[in-house]
Amino acid sequence: MAGESTLRLKLEDFGRFVIFTAIYAAGTLGLPKIPLLAYQIRIGEIPSAFVAIFGMPAVFGLTLGQFIANLGVQASPIASLSPLFSFIGLLIIYYTRKFSTLAGCIAYVIITSLWLTFLLPLNSGISMTEAGYSAFIDQFIAVIIGYCAYVLVAKTMLPKAKAASN
Class of domain 13-165: mainly alpha
Extract long-range pairs of 29-33: CB within 8 Å, 24+ residues apart.
Answer: 29/68, 29/69, 29/72, 29/73
CA distance 139 to 93: 15
Per-residue pLDDT tens digits for 91-134: 999 999 999 999 999 999 999 999 989 988 877 778 888 888 88
Per-residue pLDDT at 39: 63
Break the chain into its structural domains and give their ranges.
Answer: 13-165
CA distance 66 to 82: 8
Query: What's the pTM value of the predicted model, to 2 decimals?
Result: 0.84
Per-residue pLDDT tens digits for 59-103: 999 999 999 888 866 667 777 888 999 999 999 999 999 999 999
